[in-house]
Structure 1
Amino acid sequence: MFDLRDMKWAVVASAHRSFRKAAETLRVRQPTLSRRLRTLEYRLGIKLFERTNGGSWPTADGREFLDAARHILEEIDSIAIRFKGRSGREGGRLSIGVQSPASAGNLRATLIEHRRRFPEVTTGLVDGSSEQLISYLASSVVDVAFLVEGAAKCEGKSLPVWGERVVAAIPEDHPLRDHEVIHWSDLECETLLLPRRGVGPEFLKLLSSRMGGSDSCDLFHHDVAIDGLLTLVGAGWGILLALEGVTGAVYPGVVFREVYDAQAPARLNFRACWRPSNGNPALGPFLEMLGERYPDLAADSGPG
């Protein structure tokens, strides 16, 4: 129907909000770019851009297509980089799928230890929801993924590693900042921010199970990275549910408090997932290291 070049040109055009600037970046003539994008729209049967004298802006259908196109292009780039890393070099590249930030906690400690032991291996992180990461495992975009227990079914090998505490990121002038811990009932009638990626879907399930549904608070979903969400918290937009991994960095105007289930901290448990058929030579040593750090993996730490 269309080729990858069309997708790339559409993504570049959306980033510049100007066909002229996009054409300059791509080093093509503007009429050529405009013609290719109109052909793409015709083949898709949708209008991707609103064209005005002030620039070009993605339509609602355009934004949906462009989000998918970015993911596809990122996957292709990642696969190309990984297979270049397998061309006989001792080190290679390891791609790790994550749902949680790595500024603190077990994930950060694991990445630091891996880099200390295997400095010749280039490591890349790919974030996403559990469903996205399962797809990335299947298509070899990532070699191993750390997923929330029960979030999605992994078709390969899957064993438990660690748990992370749930925290609430609160504006520093919010009354809840005076609480030592936050209980779920404290969040009733509050404005809550949730990410669409990462552990956002799991937090929505937590809210439904702990608060009898999500109608007792105002929920706003944002398709931005965790740093962007914490910026919104600091600006007073609402309270963000997150994992303890975010607490390793300082964000202006934000304080963190643990969220409690009755008498104990609320937690999400994680599993390491990978495909037995994965042939990346950098994966085996990583899994062996996990087996040493987390004994539950020791009995079956190889990739096959």
Structure 2
Amino acid sequence: MRYVLAVAETSNFTRAAEQCLVVQSALSHQIARLERELGAKLFDRTSRRVRLTPAGEAFLPAARQALDAAERARAEVAAAAGEIRGRLAIGAISTVAAVDLPAVLKQFHLRHREVRISLRTSPSEELIERVRQGALDVAFLGLPLGVRPQGVRGCELARGDLVAVVAPDHPLADKEDVDLHRLAEETFVDFPAGTAGRAHSDAAFAAAGVQREVAFEVTVADFMARLIRQGLAIGMLPAAFASELLDLPIIRLRDAPARIEHLIWSRFQPSPAAAAFLSALGISASSAGG
């Protein structure tokens, strides 16, 4: 099953064999043996590409679950002997500011070197779904007030307002505060429509009864800041995150929308690595709400 996953991920038998640290002939032989046992081909092979067959597409989710369960079983045995190991899959929005995530990961790695850490950034709604599905162990979110992640356990980390961020030479750069009616005259960069990150600002302008032009839609806050620096647009970002952009003026909003940063994890018993990570943050997985 590991070989099948590797081929599916790389679309190449040679690269999959290198990833699995085996010779290609052994990998091909084991996959062919599995296909005979299943009575179906898992891959369509040509001289140029390797693609999953419909049977392979159906096999893949169950294979992932089986391998995850086997790894979880090994991690539980190790934890019973006092050793934390296994994988820790973390998700985060690009504007996470309630914790210094790189610093937290460094400290966790130094303490638990046998844990394989992975990190991916995505919109909050996608992270919630991936935690529900078990693809991520924990995730850091940013949601509007009154919105709670469903189908997961979690806790609130911090609350804060959004602020306007402009280029150093922007006419508003020397203003201490401004209202949304004035900002609506500007061209904006923001997260894609329909995402939780965009919902904060859209709701605020709707409540103020004004419309704005969002000419640039991006998924990463750092790229948003680069567009702002060039004077192409202004943006609205969480105050705690915007304060780290030392070269860009920050303007308080008189009718500022607020957001809450959450940390979430599965409703089911977390893995030893996930439980250790939550503990490192001072959080008990069993005591937080869902």
How far did 1:230 drift?
Answer: 1.5
Q: Deviations over 1:10-57 (max 9, x none)?
A: xxxxxxxxxxxxxxxxxx85xx45xx89xx9xx9xxxxxxxxxxxxxx
CA RMSD of aligned residues (A): 4.1
| C-alpha spacing 1:225/1:6, structure 2 compared with 1 (3 Å) | same
Unaligned runs of 5+ in 1: 10-27, 44-72
CA distance in 1, matches of 2:127, 2:222: 20
The one-letter code of the counterpart of 2:123 is: S
Q: Describe the SS at the equivalent of 1:241.
A: strand
| Distance change in 2, residues 1:86/1:186 (3 Å) | farther
Identity score, percent: 20
* Whole-Å separation in 1 of the counterparts to 2:172 and 2:223: 21
Return closer, same or farther for 1:302/1:167 CA change in 2, 3 Å cut-off: closer
Deviation of residue 6 (structure 1)? 8.5
Q: Give the one of 125, 139, 142 matched to 2:133.
A: 139
The structure whose Rg is larger is 2
CA drift at 1:176: 0.7
**Cα deviations by residue, 1:87-127 (Å, 9 ceiling, x for unpaired):** 4463333222222424xx4221x652454253524443322
How far has the Cα of 1:81 moved from its partner? Answer: 9.1
Map 1:6-25 onto structure 2 (within 5 A): none
Indicate which of 171, 174, 189 corresponds to 2:170.
174
Normalised TM-score (structure 2): 0.63
TM-score (norm 1): 0.60
Bigger mean CA deviation after superposition, 196-205 or 161-170: 196-205
SS at match of 2:173: helix
1:124 maps to 118
**Distance in 2, Cα, partners of 1:166 & 1:302:** 26
Could you tell me which residue of structure 2 aligns to residue 15 of structure 1? none
1:206 counterpart residue number? 204
Q: What do residues 168-215 of structure 1 show as CA deviations (whole Å, max 9, x unaligned)?
A: 221121101011234323302111111126612333223323x225x2
- Equivalent position SS for 2:249: strand
- Which of 162, 187, 194 is residue 190 of structure 2 equivalent to? 194
**8 Å Cα contact 2:124/2:196 also seen in 1:** yes
Match of 1:106 in 2: 98
Does residue 236 in structure 1 map to residue 234 in structure 2?
no
Tell me, in whole angstroms, the C-alpha distance in 2 between the residues paired with 1:135 and 1:80: 20
Tell me: CA distance 1:298–1:202, structure 2 relative to 1, closer, same or farther (3 Å).
same
Query: Quick check: 2:156–2:262 contact (8 Å CA) kept in 1?
Result: yes
1:226 aligns with 2:221: yes
Q: Which residue of 1 aligns with 2:287?
A: 300
Residue of structure 1 aligned with 2:152, choices 156, 161, 171: 156
Q: Quick one: structure 1 residues 179 and 164, their matched pair in 2 at CA, closer, same or farther if it must change by over 3 Å?
A: same
Is residue 181–residue 260 contact of structure 1 (8 Å, CA) maintained in 2? yes
- 1:274 matched to 2:265: yes
Retained in 2: the 8 A contact 1:284–1:302?
no
Q: How far apart are residue 246 of structure 1 and its match?
A: 4.3
Q: Which moved more, 1:83-92 or 1:138-147?
A: 83-92
Q: Show CA shifts across 1:122-163 (max 9, x none).
A: 443322222211211122121122232544542122322211
Amino acid at match of 2:205: L
Contact 2:166 2:228 in 1 (8 A): yes
- Does the CA contact (< 8 Å) of 1:97 and 1:126 recur in 2? yes
Is contact 2:165-2:249 (8 Å) kept?
A: yes
Distance in 2 (alpha carbons) for counterparts of 1:267 and 1:249: 19
Residue in structure 1 matched with residue 30 of structure 2 by the alignment:
none
In structure 2, the CA distance between the partners of 1:249 and 1:173, relative to structure 1 (3 Å rule), is closer
- Cα pair 1:134 1:152 within 8 Å, conserved: no
Letter in 2 for 1:204: D
